[in-house]
Amino acid sequence: MAWVSLRLVDFGYPLLYSALDIDGHIARYGPRNEFKAGFEQTGREQRVALFAAIVDAVHADGRGLRQLRYRDATGREQALLREPEVVHLESVARLIGRLKTASWCMLALLAAALAAMRRMALAPPRLRRVAAVSAAVLLGGTALVFALGPENVFNTLHVWIFPPDEQWFFYYEESLMTTLMKAPDLFGAIAVLLLLAALAYGGLLLLASWRWLSPGSRPAPR
């Protein structure tokens, strides 16, 4: 739910564009790109639209990635992405598809477990206990990430997830995709937004489940 909600607003890119000074970042690295010219001449509106198009493409099995174009100040069109970038984003699209399937399966299992608990009249766990355990897991995970280093964790996950012969690390000077996203800064900001949204949805789901399982919400026996 957190992912779907953020996707509807392009993961906050229009707001993060200013917060992360992506405009200044593109002004600095756009002219240095070794393969594409004129990207620094584009404006905020075009860049936000390009990011939105990438988001749509990776949620549609990668369709449309090779058709993405930008216009420089003279009106000349150029392809935004090089082939290695397209290949990587297609892998991202496949990963998103698998995670979507896994999420639906987990949601179905959760619904089945809650239905079974209600049918057997099992008491719901105490909210304080669940909140305490959730907070401990969250704080422990956050501490581990910072102890290992967020960038190290990010890079290690990429090594584990993507094929060994696939390029997933791109310097700003060779990739407009990376420049447009100001990676990995943007990913870190999106991760925080996802975490906050997940906490909000998780809290609402926990409260709704607790009330649904409470004895007062069950139909009286006949």
Separation in Å, CA 91 to CA 13, 47, 104, 159, 210? 21, 23, 20, 13, 39
What local confidence, expressed as pLDDT, does residue 52 receive? 98
Q: Helix H segments across 1-149?
A: 2-8, 13-19, 22-29, 44-58, 83-119, 127-148
- How many residues appear in the chain? 222
Separation in Å, CA 83 to CA 33, 90, 178, 191, 210? 15, 10, 14, 27, 50
* 72 vs 27 pLDDT, higher one: 27
- Contact at 8 Å (CB) between 22 and 204? no
Question: Which among 57, 73, 56 has a CA at the least distance from the CA of 65?
Answer: 57
* 74 vs 53 pLDDT, higher one: 53
How many C-beta atoms lie closer than 10 Å to residue 125's C-beta? 14
Q: Which two tokens stand for residue 95?
A: 């990963």
Mean pLDDT across the stretch 65-73?
A: 94
What are the residue ranges spanned by the domains of the chain?
2-215
What confidence tier does 220 reach under pLDDT thresholds 50, 70, 90?
low
Residue 47 has pLDDT above 60, yes or no: yes
Where do we find the tokens 């404006």?
43
- Contact at 8 Å (CB) between 6 and 196? no
Mean pLDDT across the stretch 120-137?
A: 83
Cis peptide before 164 (omega within 30 of 0): no
What local confidence, expressed as pLDDT, does residue 209 receive? 85
Of the listed ranges 25-29, 33-37, 209-213, the one predicted with least confidence? 209-213
SS3 content of the chain, % helix, strand, coil (to 5): 75, 5, 25
pLDDT tens track for 140-197: 988 999 899 988 998 899 999 999 999 999 999 999 999 999 999 999 999 999 999 9
CA torsion angle 139 144 150 152 (round to 10):
-170
CA pair distance 166, 149, nearest whole angstrom: 23
User: Which three-class secondary structure state does DSSP give residue 167?
Assistant: coil
Packing angle between helix 44-58 and helix 22-29, nearest 10 degrees?
100
What local confidence, expressed as pLDDT, does residue 34 receive? 96
pLDDT tens track for 130-145: 888 888 988 898 899 9
- CB neighbours of 124 closer than 8 A, spacing ≥ 6? 117, 209, 210, 213, 214
What local confidence, expressed as pLDDT, does residue 58 receive? 97
What local confidence, expressed as pLDDT, does residue 211 receive? 84
What local confidence, expressed as pLDDT, does residue 7 receive? 95
What confidence tier does 9 reach under pLDDT thresholds 50, 70, 90?
very high
